[in-house]
Structure 1
């Protein structure tokens, strides 16, 4: 039997629905705090993010300065040792974390916005507009990204991290558009969407207030995947020489270490920190995504 408070809430229009939403959010938060994958992955990401934001405030402004002896191993003065040119590896690492997180966040956000915009419009509108947007998505999906990046690298003599994030974001959205389009097509025929349409609500309001909130958990997981994919994509571009010509990132540290034969010289402190950093960040993000899937899917929740 229902309690008096529940009967009062049901008797007032809209109150019962709001109460249900609040209860669902509290339930999700409860299981999120209990999910070890989500909490552990988030802790690792926050640890590296905090290091990238705070540590550079206490180190030299330019991580590429020659500040110490050449090729020295880790010590009390140089925690991660120095490069073959006498650059502080720890200083490069903490500044590189900033660049890596910037690329991941900005590129993931840009790709998410483009993919969601196209997916929502195509899935809700349908018809000829859907075919045109779907064709455009397939064209971008079929583009040889490396060939395009080679052309861009040939014409842009000076490239920075901002340009790299922009390029990655512009080429990472097609799969998001397809996924959001499919979800939107399944939701546009629901009763609450039909009710909003009959009430005269404009398309923008229907998408933002009726469809998108019902996909909020899925969209959040999509952003995490885009974030991790952008970090990995940026590191790959840096390693093969298509990354920025200015600034520093974990991928550029790896490339410089390989270029100047750090492995052959036994200078493990030059390439191990950035390699472990990239692996830990990307791995933690994907573990977070698995944890979120367990939180939002009742059948997968840990009891």
Structure 2
């Protein structure tokens, strides 16, 4: 990702801010990576939001003949139990974006709060927060998640998101801390400090706006990471106990020998969906980096 974005001291707006916004929008409209990545992600998001509205049955309900290939009646065919794969897919997309937003959001909130506070305050506050960050960073994340989720009586998207978020924030905290350290010594921050503003007011009004592009790209990476981690947990059977997700679709397909039986329509859509969504998020992130970083812009 690019270095700190924005011009110090111009977070409040004005002609300079409007000019920068117009310039950024100009390059964003002409960046193919950003447009393609954003377009694909939005297409899947709309499908996940709108698709379930037109499905008149539960995704796990036995509604048709068993092991039927895609047809006009069942767009993605049926499972060996007669479940509608299309219904499972659109509901799974909704769960995928929900876990990405919630898990990534928790990690983003914790990581940015720790990073801002450590980078701005420095001293013993920085040392303590940096020690906590390093401890969490070296923990075997997947093992911790497996143990934690496995012993829960009730598992759901929100609970899964909390655990993913609480184990995914350290790298974001370290990245935000490094950027905050470079901004905390700038003149406009010193002026705000001398004016008597509170710490969080300075961070939210002066520091954060000048690295807003960096924060956006950090959230996108956390979003994609949460989707991948959730899919891995679902695939090994630690997904939502009541519901459906793309990872659980893959887990069920493998458990009931869809590959050996040639039921490609059962495992290809969820696998391809996860791959394309996460891949598009990273392409989108690369496009944003090229837009926000003047050194990478293409005229």
Q: Same fold (TM over 0.5)?
A: yes
Which region of structure 1 is more displaced relative to structure 2, 142-151 or 125-134?
142-151
Aligned residues of 2:150 and 2:238 also touching (Cα < 8 A): no
Determine if the alignment matches structure 1 residue 192 to structure 2 residue 199. Answer: no
Judge conservation of contact 1:106–1:166 (CA < 8 Å) in 2: yes
Structure 2: how far apart are the matches of 1:193 and 1:31? 29
Q: What stretches of structure 1 of length at least 5 have no aligned partner?
A: 1-13
- Is contact 1:149-1:242 (8 Å) kept? no
Quote the Cα distance in structure 1 between the aligned partners of 2:41 and 2:89: 15
Q: Which has the higher mean CA deviation after the structures are superposed, 270-279 or 155-164?
A: 155-164
Tell me, yes or no, if the aligned pair for 1:44 and 1:284 is still in contact at 8 Å.
yes
Q: Does 1:121 align with 2:114?
A: no
Q: Answer whether contact 2:102 2:161 (CA < 8 A) is retained.
A: yes
State whether residues 145 and 164 of structure 2, in contact with CA within 8 Å, keep that contact through their aligned partners in structure 1.
Answer: no
Larger RCO: Structure 1 or Structure 2 (Cα < 8 Å, ≥ 6 residues apart)? 2
Query: Moved runs in structure 1, 4+ residues, more than 3 A?
Result: none
What is the TM-score with the length of structure 2 in the denominator?
Answer: 0.94
**Aligned mate of 1:50, from 23, 46, 50:** 46
1:130 aligns with 2:126: yes
The match for 1:215 is: 211
Whether 1:139 aligns to 2:122 is no
Q: SS in structure 2 opposite 1:264?
A: helix
Structure 2 portions without partners, runs of 5+: 1-9
Report matched runs for 1:245-284 at 5 Å: 245-284=241-280
Confirm or deny: 8 A CA contact 2:69 2:263 kept in the other structure. yes
Match of 2:158 in 1: 162
Larger Rg: 1
Residue 146 of structure 1: how far off its partner (Å): 2.8
Q: Deviations over 1:210-240 (max 9, x none)?
A: 1000010000000011111111111111112
Aligned-pair distance for 1:158?
2.3
